[in-house]
Structure 1
Amino acid sequence: DDQEVAVGNLKLMKQYGITVPEEAPRTVHARQHTGASVIWVARDKELAGAIIVADTVRDDAPATIAALHTLGIRIAMLTGDQHEAAQTIGGILGVDHIYSELLPADKSRVVNELKTAGYKVLMVGDGINDAPALATADLGLAVGSGTDVALETADVALMSPEIYGVVRALSLSTKTLGKIRQNLFWSLIYNIIMIPLAAFGIVSPILAGAAMAMSSVSVVSNSLLLKTTKLPVTPAS
């Protein structure tokens, strides 16, 4: 009908010269303290109304944040939500830093700033808006329920939609690194001991060859023990 419609935040309304009544922000402000975000709607330069959108906290999110804090990891929340809503959700979760009203490029910029400050950054995301930050982080981790763009951009993709999978992934990676170090140690021990003994004829070449074969078997067997590793279980909510 040749009508101009504007949909967005309060900043967009001001940009288009649309007047928002004084009482409206106060009413909306009360809703934002419950974790809701506001989308204003205007038609032909006149305010038509507002849409209240509220995110729900994942059931396993508080337990995930607590577990990561136990590991000594600081948590930052990067969101496009409005400031008041972000502060409410961040307060519920107990995150350390809150960055709100971010565009996709802003999220990537924040990740770069954290890296420049000397932090190793693990970015967890599931949406298209998270893709630039996932690519910028030292390690990008996409949740299984995420968009194809996020899953393709991330370095690691969780098969489960549970956010607590981040804790399990970190636990498994730590144990895997430990196995790699153990395997390198025992391989070096075999070589340091058996090669000189074989070179000076103290041990027969056949015995030295058998020892090298045992070295390979021990490395593989030690690695297979990872299959018996018990990973953290999501605490009951």
Structure 2
Amino acid sequence: LVGCVAVSDRIKGDAADAVRYLQQKMGAEVWMVTGDNTRVARSVASEVGITNVAAEALPGDKVTRIKSLQAKGKTVAMVGDGINDSPALSQADLGIAIGTGTDVAVESAGVVLMRDSLLDVITAFDLSRVTYKRIRLNFVWAFGFNATGIPIAAGVLMPAGIILPPWAAGLAMALSSVCVVCSSLLLNRYRRPDFATTSWGWVRED
């Protein structure tokens, strides 16, 4: 034996942190479905903390794996960047493509990450949850305001001598819309989760 040359793909530096956050903080079941051979796949999976591994998977195998998880009632998010990932990205409930990936993968995904960082997957989930909570808050506010204001504007309190002039009713309706818009604009203050350098825990930037 004169020499030996070994070649391997470099694991993303934030992969282990992203996987650990998904598993421990979000309770997600993380799978690694790859076309690489079994030995390489299990080696990479052990480094990043993934226990569910499906190696030597063709594009159709990835779709089949996603369908099997969906058949169990699970909501599946697929993260990929290659042409082979495109069918799986389309099949998943949520397809997430890395912005530096192929055009086919980007077109097949519902969400495109602009940076080549798996931590942005966490940011996408977190921002989606914050946005959904804001939508629910706005809906509850608008429903409560209208449920109270419309009967008053219609004269339900006239027997008690309380009458809302038309100009006041119009102003109240405009203020309701302004409040909802201002509430939505608070999303501009959103700060992505930031990985603490002193530990693996996550903190939100304020």
Normalising TM by the smaller chain, what interval? 0.7 to 0.9
Task: Tell me how far apart the structure 1 counterparts of residues 142 and 172 of structure 2 sit (CA, whole Å).
Answer: 10
Structure 1 counterpart SS, 2:116: coil
Structure 2 counterpart SS, 1:81: coil
4+ residue segments displaced more than 4 Å: 234-237
CA shift in 2, pair 1:163/1:235, >3 Å: farther
Letter aligned with residue 216 of structure 1? S
Q: In the alignment, does 2:41 pair up with 1:86? A: yes
Letter aligned with residue 97 of structure 1? N
TM-score (norm 2): 0.87
Q: Which runs of 5+ in 2 are unaligned?
A: 201-206
Task: Tell me how far apart the structure 2 counterparts of residues 71 and 205 of structure 1 sit (CA, whole Å).
Answer: 50
Q: How does 1:201-220 map to 2 (within 5 A)?
A: 201=158, 202-220=163-181
Write out per-residue CA displacement over residues 59-83 of structure 1, whole angstroms, 9 at most, x where no aligned residue.
0101111111111111000100111
Write out per-residue CA displacement over residues 86-116 of structure 1, whole angstroms, 9 at most, x where no aligned residue.
1111111111311100011111111111101
How many positions carry a matched residue from both structures? 188
Task: Tell me how far apart the structure 2 counterparts of residues 123 and 235 of structure 1 sit (CA, whole Å).
Answer: 26
Task: Tell me how far apart the structure 2 counterparts of residues 77 and 205 of structure 1 sit (CA, whole Å).
Answer: 62
Compute the RMSD of aligned alpha carbons: 1.7
TM-fit CA distance, 1:183:
0.5
* Match in the other structure for 1:60: 14
TM-score (norm 1): 0.76
Q: In the alignment, does 2:151 pair up with 1:190? A: no
Letter aligned with residue 11 of structure 2? V
Q: 1:233 aligns with which of 194, 198, 206?
A: 194
Q: 1:138 aligns with which of 87, 93, 103?
A: 93
* Match in the other structure for 1:97: 52
Q: 1:158 aligns with which of 92, 110, 113?
A: 113
Q: Which runs of 5+ in 1 are unaligned?
A: 1-30, 32-50
TM-fit CA distance, 1:206:
1.5
TM-fit CA distance, 1:52:
5.6
CA shift in 2, pair 1:90/1:217, >3 Å: same
CA shift in 2, pair 1:53/1:112, >3 Å: farther
Q: 2:104 aligns with which of 149, 158, 161?
A: 149
Determine if contact 1:141/1:156 at 8 Å carries over to the other structure.
yes
Aligned-residue sequence identity (percent) comes to 41
Q: How does 1:115-134 map to 2 (within 5 A)?
A: 115-134=70-89
Structure 1 counterpart SS, 2:78: strand
Task: Tell me how far apart the structure 2 counterparts of residues 129 and 227 of structure 1 sit (CA, whole Å).
Answer: 36
Highest CA radius of gyration, 1 or 2? Answer: 1
Write out per-residue CA displacement over residues 174-213 of structure 1, whole angstroms, 9 at most, x where no aligned residue.
0000010011011001111110001115322221211111
TM-fit CA distance, 1:234:
4.4
Letter aligned with residue 90 of structure 1? A
